[in-house]
Amino acid sequence: MAVTRRLRLPGGEIEYALRPMARSRGLRVTMDARRGVVVTVPLPTRRGWARPEPIVEAFLKEREPWLRRHLERQRLVREELEARGGLVDGALVRYRGELHRLRLRAQGDGERLRRSSVTRSGDDDGDALIVTTAPRDRRPLDRILREWFRERADELIGREIDRHATALGVTPAAVTLRDPRSRWGSASKEGRLMFSWRLALAPPRAMETVVVHELAHLRVFGHGPRFWAVVASRVPDHAQWRRWLREHSQELHGALEAGEY
């Protein structure tokens, strides 16, 4: 369980979450979209980690400029998401890399929807995601959108797997969709692949890059030159799209919040 700590630095006080984990082998710092600075350390029972705070704080002090840069970027992304309007009629939501106007409408006369629906449209006014709400559907708007994006991700990722798996000479044992905070996909030695459904919000080439990356692990388990050669054989510009995902990670993970960023 994470505990909140505060550290006074030359540039001002910062807050960080200290998270002991059994699988941790050392100190690791990540920047979480919601929690800010998260420091993962081994359990206190491990030798040398009974009191991790002095180790953590010395590490953070050395890297204050790096922390400040990332915290400032997080602030700017939060402001941009807030400017898009949250999940209200007229707000902007990203889908397939492009911003779409969110339009909310109640079902019309003659419609008898059991569940609310989402449709995509495009016209001279730009692309839009139209949510038609059904009176009997008690799901909140954020859940309606999440489920729609998950369905799109299932379809789109499946299409990319079909397109690349045969060319790479691999066959996944299973494919699942989840909502991890720190990765876009993973592959096990048993051939099971996992992908984030939030890839449906990213540009098609970014999604394709992640799919190829995980399929390539079914041939080469590691990140050496042979692995990257396999990835480049299918997506020559993979570095560009991996960078795009890194730079937009906080945005994609905060894009469907109901109004709090």
For 202-216, write each residue's pLDDT tens digit: 999 999 999 999 999
Owner of token pair 């890194």: 246
Fold (CATH) for 92-254: Zincin-like (3.30.2010)
C-alpha–C-alpha distance, residues 58 and 9, integer Å:
10
Largest CA distance in the chain: 69
**Residue ranges, CATH 3.30.2010.10, the chain:** 92-254
For 97-134, write each residue's pLDDT tens digit: 999 999 998 876 666 778 899 999 987 678 999 999 88
Residues counted in the chain: 261
List the Cα angle 99/113/178 in 5-degree steps: 50
For 18-51, write each residue's pLDDT tens digit: 999 998 889 999 887 667 899 999 999 999 999 9
For 143-182, write each residue's pLDDT tens digit: 999 999 999 999 999 999 999 999 999 999 999 999 998 8
The mean of the pLDDT values for the chain is 90
Q: Answer whether 121's CB lies under 8 Å from 105's CB.
A: no
